[in-house]
Structure 1
Amino acid sequence: MSRRDFPPLNTLRAFCVVMRRGKLCEAAGELEVTPQAVGHQIRALEEMLQIKLFDRRSNGLMPTEQAVLLFHFVRSGFDELEEGLARISRPPQADRIAKIS
């Protein structure tokens, strides 16, 4: 998959929230969108990757093995991104020079 074909970050974010929450409606609440919008993001990701990420059941979504594996890497990537943003957002610390009296 080339970078040009890379899934949009919002789609990957929706996927991560669904994996953590386990239900579209709970993920939608966290993302502040409708459950239908979350479902659309998940279907778009499945189509883009050409794999089934969830088994749809009457009591909710059941992640496939591929979804569990993908979640591991996507969550890791978001953690790295969050750390990088936090590091560049911190005010630089002035070099400290010790005074000897």
Structure 2
Amino acid sequence: MNFGKVVRKLREYSQKNQRNFADYIGISQTSLSFIESGKTIPTNATLDRIARRFKTRRALLVMAAFEVDKELSASKKNQFNNLLPNFEREIWSLIFNSK
């Protein structure tokens, strides 16, 4: 799971710097920096706050953090990609269009 990528993408989408985005989601800038760099993962409470700010669901944020290439074996990855060829694009579409 790569929550850092997800949080960074949402921050960039909102056109906020780390300090402003951290304030926006109710955490410290240091915590945000650690999340974005992968040094820590966000708590469920933080994910819930982010989801509320973007009018989406925490489950979609978790799905966006899923890394098919790193988390599945080659055969499972092929099956996954055959079933859901545009998984990442579709998840981001749901996140950004759920407003």
TM (norm. structure 1) is 0.35
TM (norm. structure 2) is 0.36
Greater radius of gyration (CA): 1
Higher helix proportion:
2
